[in-house]
Structures are given as C-alpha cells and as structure tokens.
C-alpha cells in the first residue's frame, strides 16, 4: 500500500466531549447513553484517483469530535465470494462515494460538520465508466492485483484485464445448430443499473466491549454471513462476534452480504467500550451500497420454420462496478441459466463480469435473471413475429420439461411451466385485446416466460432449534430474516402442521447469532425450501421424542400414536388422550413416583448434499450448481398514449409454480408486489451518471419509483402446484421470480401496440413518445 501523506494528529478529544444520549436501535430498543458515538463518512469525489493526502486538522477542531480514522487504520480486505475490497480506501479510490475516512463524534451533527472539513488531495486517473470500454486493450487496469485476490473455486478471473470472472457454458455443437436453422436473429439489448430503494436506509451499530467481544446490531438479510466476514476481516474468533438483526425495513438483496455494516464493526474495535452508529442518508444509500448490475447482452438465436430452436449464442457483459465481491456471483448464476426456460440443444453462453469505476454491483431481487430475460424474451417474441408464429405456441413448443437437460447438463426438475402458460393465456384472453375509445391511445399485449434457480454455494445450509414451553407453546429459533415475504409465518405453519399446535402458539424471533442456529443468508428465494426443510426436521425430531416417550411409559406402539389438537392420541385406543402441556417440560410420572421424559428440545438441519460446482471451467458441464428452478409465465394489456408516451397497465396475469403454496395469500401478495417492482424498473426508474462517474439523481425526487396510483388496474395471481420432490411439503421459493417477466412484457406490448421495438431499458414515456415521433417521420 502506498503511504500517502497524512496531515493532522489523530488524538482523543476528551475536552470536546459533548454529552449526547443515545438513540434507540431498531427492534431492540437499546439506549447506549453517553457511550454512543456517531460516525460520518468522508467519501471520494473522484471515480478513479490516487489519494495523495488527507488533511484532518480542521475537522479535529469541531466541538464533539472524538476521533478520525482512515484506511491506514484498517488495512483489511473483505468480501463474500472474492476478497477485492478494503473497509476504507487505501492508496486509491475507485468510485465516487467510496469511503476514505470516518469522523467519530458524540453527535451526528458534529460528525457531519467535521467530515465536510476533511480535505483530500487526489491525483486523477482515467475513469472507466462503461463495461464495453473496460474490455478494450488500451483501457486503464482497475485491479492490477487481481491475481492475488482470494476467491471461491467457481470464479475464473482473468488477471491483467478488467475481467473479474468469466462464466462459460457450452452444450452441443453451436455451428451445427446454426447450420440447421431456417432463420437467425442477432441483436443487442441493454439494461442499466438500478437502486434497491428500500424505505429504511442502511444502519448498523458496533460495540467492542472490554472483554474483547464485538456486537453488531445490523439491518441485515445475512446475520451469520456478516458475523463470518467480520471475524475474518478483523482477525477475531467467531465466538467473539455477535450479530443481532432486528426487523428489516426492506431489503430486496441490498442488505445481503456485507456493505456498510463492516464500517461501524471495524470502528468499534478501535473504540473499546463505546458503541459506534452509522446511519446512511438517502444519497449514501444510492451511491455506496450495492446496485443492480448494468448489462449489455448480445443474442444470436437460430430457429427452424416449425419453431424449433436449434441454437443460442448468448453473450452477456456485466458492469459490476469497482468491486465484485458479491456481484460476480450474479454473473455466475446467470451464466449457467441464460437459455431461459427453454429446451435448447446447442448453446454457448459467455457471462463476463467486468470492473468499472461505478459503485459496486451486488444482489438485487432476481439476481441477474431480470436483466437476462429482458433480452431473451424480447428476442423470442421478435422471432415468433418474424416467422408468423403465435408467440405463445412458439414458447410452448420449446418450453423445458422435467427431465430435459439444462445448459450445464443436469436434468430439469418437475415443473408446471406448460400449465402456467395455459392459465395465463386464458386469464389474459390472449388475442382478444381490448380497444380504447380514445383515438390517441392504443393497447398492446405482452407475454413472457421466466425461471430462476437459487444462486447459492453448494454447501449453503439452514438449521433450526425448537423448544416446547410448559403450556405447550413453542419457541422456534431460526436465523432467516422476514423481509416482508412472510418467512416467520410460513416456518411456524410448517412446525404447526407436524406438531398439531396452532401457528399462533409458536413464537419466531429475529436472529441473534449467539442464540439462533446457523443460516447462510435470506437470499436466492431458497429460504422456504432450505429453512423450511430444517424446521420440518426439527418438528419431526420433536414429534419423535414425544411419541417415543409415550411408548416408553404407556407401551403403545409408536406407529399407532399420532398428534392431534395439541395432544397425543392412539389409533387403537380412542380413550387415550394426553395433552402436550401435561408432559412436554415436566415429563410423565410413573406408578412408582419417578418421572420419565423431560423438556422437549429439538433440532433440524438441511444442506443440499447433491449440489456441486465442479463443472468444467470451459463448458460448465459435469457439475450440479443449481438445486432446482422455479418457473412461470405472465402477460399484460398495456394502454399507451401515442402523443405523450404515457403507459398504464390495464390488466396483468402471472402464474408461478410454487411446488406447494404453504400460504396462498402470501404467494398472491408476492405476485402483486414483485410484479409492481418489476414494472417500476422498466417504466420509471432511471439512474443517470455524468461523464465523471457521479450519480445525478440520488433521491426520490429525481429517481422515480411507483406509488399506489401506479398499480395495474387488475392483477390476476395464479398459483400452480407441481411438487418439488425435496421441498417441505413440496414447496419451493417464489419471492424473486414474480418481478422477472415485467420488462420483456412491457417491451413486447409496446411493439404489439405501436410496431416499435425498444431494446434498451428503461422504457419510459419520454422514450416511447420520441420513438413514435421518429417512426411517424419515416
């Protein structure tokens, strides 16, 4: 690391102590009193530059300032899948907004005032703001040390380039496939970056006590993963790191992994006995947390006259930003699945993760599949139209079925994709689009299929503890996060179903890594499947303990015993009934006055032991990286004002194969919410950067998100149930999938209504109006 010039003295300013009482921390209502310190970040104003000096002398004079820290204090790398990032910038900054220093003060105001007085001198370097530019030979190299970065074995970085990871998938004979085609369509599609826009911004508090114990309160989707990364980066034992996760005010992937949470954790280790709080502003939320990756997709597809797809060449270039420690796994996941839910025998996929000087990309609801499907499903519709085929029949003909091979050679799981297609076609009344009474308005129909697999390591696991109380109520102790999807409700339902206890008598708490057992992360739409299996196993363990105890005491055969209405009953002795509350803690007294049994405490664990990532790096053949896919179909009727370009979704239908809908109301809610979020990305949201890499609209005034006024007039949620063989009661996840078809549906409906194909998101009213104007001039 270059030793940049450091101006000022890092001293403790006890004389400036300002007694400020602490604030309540989300969920736990903890008051830290005068021991609560506030952190404010000094962030880079340059997209790419060498740090020549940091002058903190004026900042230290602000009343209430306690300490100021820079990268020299924390020369530690961290990262979930690739360790390419420092807690604070070291000798170089790589995006506008990157944290350079932190001011610690006894009030938020003092910290903010002082941070504004820190002076950073830079030496500008060429900024690379576009992934296609970053791939050129003469472009600045953003990470010369790439070869030295530790990473997971399924990443394939290309040192000496700006390629952080290149996922290659090959199947069949591509040249042969194209030679058999009667029609070939080749084109390029673009998807920009997007922000998560959770209403609650990121906030975390770290406290390092005098026993050497680090506790972090964090609004997080990943408490155990955060604990692991904190321990790794800061050189602590896992037993000495505790993460407490209160309820989350919106996540969508933006609070997965680790972003700003490691900052107060690290700062706390230098401020023993104090708690350090960092709360992001809305602007910081836009510029210095994960963003959805930008995409340039080049698609070439060959098709026979009868509609059989013969070949697909899919090249996807991802703008992953300045650091890819999480975002590269988005690239990896899509690179395995970019055939979409189709049966294609000859395939080439190149999914390329590229460093740029924009903020780091990471997990976002859909994990790259939304971006991929925008191009692919647009392409599918265009090919059907060119060949004069009904686009639904074209999709039905090529739809992947159980047993068909995926792009990487594994067999497709049982699924209800055809049923989804049929039900959406009927619900939307495909081919019978309504007409508008307003001569300035036209209506188009758009259709799309979708699929997604959980993107997770092969050893991602879930666990559960379950304990009965004296009154036969239950504490279910798990570590997934309820981020609005109803996770806690569904886990209680699974336990209730097995143990005959009403869900209302089962309490589920948010995680505390000291108390709650391990859970990888609440991401990837895997939590119902994975954590649900762990909870099911824990409930079965409890049931086995209960029935075994009854067998020991009363000698009824176990296979004749069952649980019903919070009691044990016997098939061969209708008179036998023993309420759970009579013995699940106290045990059962026998004739001689002794007791048998004791507290019923159970555990369950689930890991997909069949999953593997050992495929050939050049083809991806030979492994089983995805555990299963969730599939579906969707369609909508879109009204467009030809003069203004303003669009309104009149009706939308979305069908998803949930395997088994454990809570149908929650599934229907996810369909509605996910569809609206997807429509937001295609119709409203639009990140604008200037040529210096600065985001121009980091606020809800200029970055548009939908309101209740923008909800489609009618949404038809459709649940299809083809059981997942290894799912709890046949269930699989659906949380991310419901936003995936929104963008291609809009693009396809615009073309249907206006004869205009828009190949770059977002598809805003302005863009549509200009396209109509240009078409009318031709």
634-638 mean pLDDT: 98
CB 162 within 8 A of CB 135: yes
The per-residue pLDDT for range 448-479, each reduced to its tens digit, is 999 999 999 999 999 999 999 999 999 999 99
Q: How confident is the model at residue 34 (pLDDT cuts 50, 70, 90)?
A: confident
Q: C-alpha angle with apex 360: 4 to 294, nearest 5 degrees?
A: 140
Can you give the pLDDT at residue 717? 98
pLDDT in tens, 362-417: 999 999 999 999 999 999 999 999 999 999 999 999 999 999 999 999 999 999 99
Structure tokens at 291: 């963003």
Instruction: Collapse the DSSP code of 51 into the 3-class scheme (helix H, G, I; strand E, B; otherwise coil) and give the result.
Output: strand
> What local confidence, expressed as pLDDT, does residue 686 receive?
94
Quick one: DSSP state of residue 361?
A: B
Beta-carbon contacts of 315 under 8 Å, excluding residues fewer than 6 positions away, are: 297, 298, 299, 349, 350, 352
Residue 1 has pLDDT above 50, yes or no: no
Helix axes 765-777, 742-754, angle to 10 degrees: 30
| pLDDT at position 9 | 37
Handedness of CA 111, 116, 120, 126 (dihedral sign): positive
Which pLDDT value is given to residue 4?
Answer: 41
**102-161 pLDDT, tens per residue?**
999 999 999 999 999 999 999 999 999 999 999 999 999 999 999 999 999 999 999 999
Strands across the sheet containing 65-70: 65-70, 99-105, 36-43, 275-279, 203-208, 214-218, 241-244
Mean pLDDT of 12-37: 47
How confident is the model at residue 18, as a pLDDT?
28
- Answer for the pair 354, 140: CB distance below 8 angstroms, yes or no: no
Query: Whole-angstrom Cα distance, residue 437 to residue 431?
Result: 18
The distance from CA 402 to its chain's CA centroid, rounded to whole angstroms, is: 26
Whole-number pLDDT of residue 28 = 40
Q: What are phi and psi of 276, to 5 degrees?
A: -120, 125
Q: Hey, which residues does 315 pair with through a beta bridge?
A: 298, 350
- Residue among 380, 450, 369 at smallest CA distance from 757: 380
Smallest Cα–Cα separation from 253: which of 317, 333, 157? 333
Please tell me whether residue 655 adopts helix, strand or coil conformation: strand
- Per-residue model confidence as pLDDT tens digits over 281-316: 999 999 999 999 999 999 999 999 999 999 999 999
Nearest to 695, CA basis, from 289, 328, 251, 369: 289
Q: How many angstroms separate the CA atoms of 57 and 565, rounded?
A: 70
Q: How confident is the model at residue 778 (pLDDT cuts 50, 70, 90)?
A: confident
User: Are 524 and 462 a contacting pair, CB within 8 Å?
Assistant: no
- Residue where the block lists tokens 């000798």: 91
Report, as an integer, the average pLDDT of 26-34: 58
Distance CA 142, CA 125 (A): 10
Can you count the helices (H) and strands (E) in the chain?
15, 31
Question: Does 148 or 6 have the greater pLDDT score?
Answer: 148
pLDDT of residue 553: 98
Domains detected in the chain: 16-24+461-606 (3.30.365.10), 32-125+202-279 (3.90.1170.50), 294-408+416-456+613-777 (3.30.365.10)
- Mean per-residue pLDDT, 579-592: 97
pLDDT, residue 169, reads 98
377, 519, 736, 751: the catalytic one is 736
Q: Reply yes or no on whether the pLDDT at 10 is more than 90.
A: no
- Cβ–Cβ < 8 Å for 769, 478: no
For range 36-45, the mean pLDDT = 98
Q: What is the pLDDT of residue 25?
A: 40
How sure is the predictor about 442, in pLDDT bands with cuts at 50, 70 and 90?
very high
Query: pLDDT confidence of 13, banded at 50, 70, 90?
Result: very low
Q: How confident is the model at residue 27 (pLDDT cuts 50, 70, 90)?
A: very low
- What pLDDT band is residue 15 in, cutting at 50, 70 and 90? very low
Residue 326 to residue 78: CA distance in whole angstroms? 11
Q: What pLDDT was estimated at residue 30?
A: 65
The phi, psi pair for 66, rounded to 5°, reads -105, -50
Q: Would you call 564 a catalytic residue per the annotation? A: no
């Amino acid at each position: 690391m270059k030793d940049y010039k450091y101006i000022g003295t890092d001293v403790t300013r006890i004389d400036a102590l300002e007694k400020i009482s602490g604030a309540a921390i989300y969920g736990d209502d903890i008051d830290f009193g005068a021991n609560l310190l506030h952190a404010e970040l000094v962030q880079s104003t340059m997209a790419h530059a060498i740090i020549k000096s940091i002058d903190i002398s004026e900042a230290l004079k602000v009343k209430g300032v306690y300490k100021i820290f820079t990268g020299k204090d924390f020369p530690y790398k961290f990262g979930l899948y690739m360790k390419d990032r420092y807690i604070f910038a070291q000798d170089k900054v790589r995006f506008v907004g990157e944290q350079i220093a932190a001011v610690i003060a006894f009030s938020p105001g003092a910290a903010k005032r002082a941070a504004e007085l820190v002076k950073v001198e830079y030496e500008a370097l060429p900024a690379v703001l576009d992934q296609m530019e970053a791939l050129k030979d003469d472009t600045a190299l953003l990470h010369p040390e790439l070869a030295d970065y530790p990473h997971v074995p399924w990443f394939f970085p290309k040192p000496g380039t700006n390629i952080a990871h290149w996922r290659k998938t090959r199947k069949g004979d591509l040249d042969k496939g194209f030679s058999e085609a009667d029609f070939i369509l080749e084109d390029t599609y673009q998807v920009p970056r997007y922000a998560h826009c959770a209403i609650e911004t990121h906030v975390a508090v770290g406290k390092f006590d005098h026993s050497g114990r680090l506790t972090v309160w964090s609004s997080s989707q990943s408490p155990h993963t955060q604990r692991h990364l904190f321990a790794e980066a800061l050189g602590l034992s896992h037993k000495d790191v505790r993460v407490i996760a209160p309820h989350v005010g919106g996540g969508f992937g933006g609070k997965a992994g680790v972003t700003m949470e490691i900052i107060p954790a690290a700062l706390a280790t230098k401020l023993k006995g104090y708690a350090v709080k960092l709360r992001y502003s809305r602007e910081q939320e836009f510029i210095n947390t994960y963003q959805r990756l930008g995409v340039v997709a080049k698609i070439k597809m060959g098709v026979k006259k009868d509609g059989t797809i013969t070949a697909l060449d899919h090249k996807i270039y991802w703008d992953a930003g300045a650091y890819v420690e999480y975002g590269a796994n988005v690239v990896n996941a899509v690179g395995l699945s970019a055939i979409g839910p189709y049966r294609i025998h000859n395939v080439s996929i190149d999914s390329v993760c590229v460093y740029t000087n924009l903020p780091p990309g990471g997990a976002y609801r859909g994990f790259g599949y939304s971006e991929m499907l925008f191009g692919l499903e647009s392409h599918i519709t265009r090919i059907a139209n060119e060949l004069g085929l009904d686009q639904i029949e074209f999709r039905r003909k090529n739809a992947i079925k159980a047993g068909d091979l995926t792009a990487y050679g594994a067999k497709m799981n049982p699924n209800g994709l055809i049923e989804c297609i049929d039900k959406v076609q009927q619900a939307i009344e495909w081919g019978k689009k309504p007409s508008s009474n307003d001569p300035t308005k036209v209506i188009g129909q758009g259709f799309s299929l979708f699929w997604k697999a959980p993107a997770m390591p092969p050893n991602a696991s879930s666990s559960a503890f379950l304990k009965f109380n004296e009154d036969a109520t239950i504490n279910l102790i798990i570590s997934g996060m309820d981020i609005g999807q109803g996770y806690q409700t569904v886990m209680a339902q699974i336990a209730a179903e097995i143990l005959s206890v009403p869900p209302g008598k089962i309490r589920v708490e948010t995680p505390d890594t000291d108390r709650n057992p391990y859970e990888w992360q609440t991401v990837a739409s895997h939590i119902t499947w994975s954590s649900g299996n762990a909870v099911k196993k824990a409930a079965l363990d409890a049931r086995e303990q209960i029935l075994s105890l009854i067998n020991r005491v009363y000698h009824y055969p176990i296979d004749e015993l069952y649980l019903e209405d919070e009691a044990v009953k016997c098939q061969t002795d209708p008179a036998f009934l023993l309420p759970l509350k009579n013995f699940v803690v106290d045990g059962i007294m026998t004739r001689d006055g002794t007791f048998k049994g004791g507290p019923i405490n159970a555990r369950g664990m689930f890991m997909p032991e069949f999953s593997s990532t050992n495929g050939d790096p050049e083809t991806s053949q030979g492994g089983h990286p995805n555990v299963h896919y969730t599939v579906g179909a969707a369609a909508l009727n879109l009204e467009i004002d030809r003069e203004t370009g303003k669009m309104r979704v009149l009706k939308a239908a979305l069908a998803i194969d949930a395997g088994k809908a454990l809570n149908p109301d929650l599934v229907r809610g996810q369909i509605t919410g996910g569809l609206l979020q997807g429509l937001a990305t295609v119709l409203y949201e639009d990140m604008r950067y200037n040529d210096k890499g600065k985001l121009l609209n980091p606020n809800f005034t200029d970055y548009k998100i939908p309101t209740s006024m923008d909800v489609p007039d009618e949404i038809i949620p459709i649940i299809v149930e083809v059981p997942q063989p290894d799912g709890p009661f046949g269930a699989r996840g659906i949380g991310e999938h419901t936003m995936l078809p929104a963008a291609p549906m809009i693009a396809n409906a615009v073309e249907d209504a206006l004869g205009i194909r828009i190949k770059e998101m977002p598809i805003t009213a302005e863009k549509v109006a200009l396209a109509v104007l240009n078409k009318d001039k031709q």
